[in-house]
Copies of this chain bind each other. A is one copy, B any other.
Amino acid sequence: MRVLVSDAPFDVGEETNAFAKGHKDIGAVVTFTGIVRDLPDDPLVAMEIEHYPGMTEAALSKIATTAIARWSLGDALVIHRHGRLVPGEMIMMVATAARHRRDAFEAAEYLMDYLKSRAPFWKREITAKGSDWVTAKAEDEDALTRW
């Protein structure tokens, strides 16, 4: 298991290769990558991500450990950036490795759902008109009821 919280960019391809390689007992690897998306009406200048150093790493480790146990994963990876990002940059990624595809998919969705609402990150969107904190979505909180 690897959990990385950093303000530096990461290479999703290199991370995926490092994660997927050398697993002879594992048939399925799923990755999710979150990308800063431009806003259709009011172009995004940047996204700033604040976090809670110390708690962030602990929360992500707990979420990943829970997923590994629940889906008998061979491995799990969580990377999340903080600081200032521009449209097109990668915000975060998760990866899961399992014997069967359904477990790898479910575990990755679980990681994402918990990471969205239970890891201490806060996003702020900066446009030409000003800046605003991103509001948590009810649907993201509702997604947790699935698990």
Contacts and interface: CB of A to CB of B under 8 A. Distances in A.
Chain copies in the assembly? 2
A20 interface: yes
Given A17-B11, A20-B90, A32 B28 contact: yes
Name the interface size band of chain A.
35 or more
A127 to B, nearest CB: 14
A35 B31 contact: no
B31 A30 contact: yes
Nearest to A90: B20
Interface stretch (A53-61, A65-73, A77-85, A97-105): A97-105
Contacts of A29: 31-33, 35
Given A30-B32, A108-B105, A37 B25 contact: yes
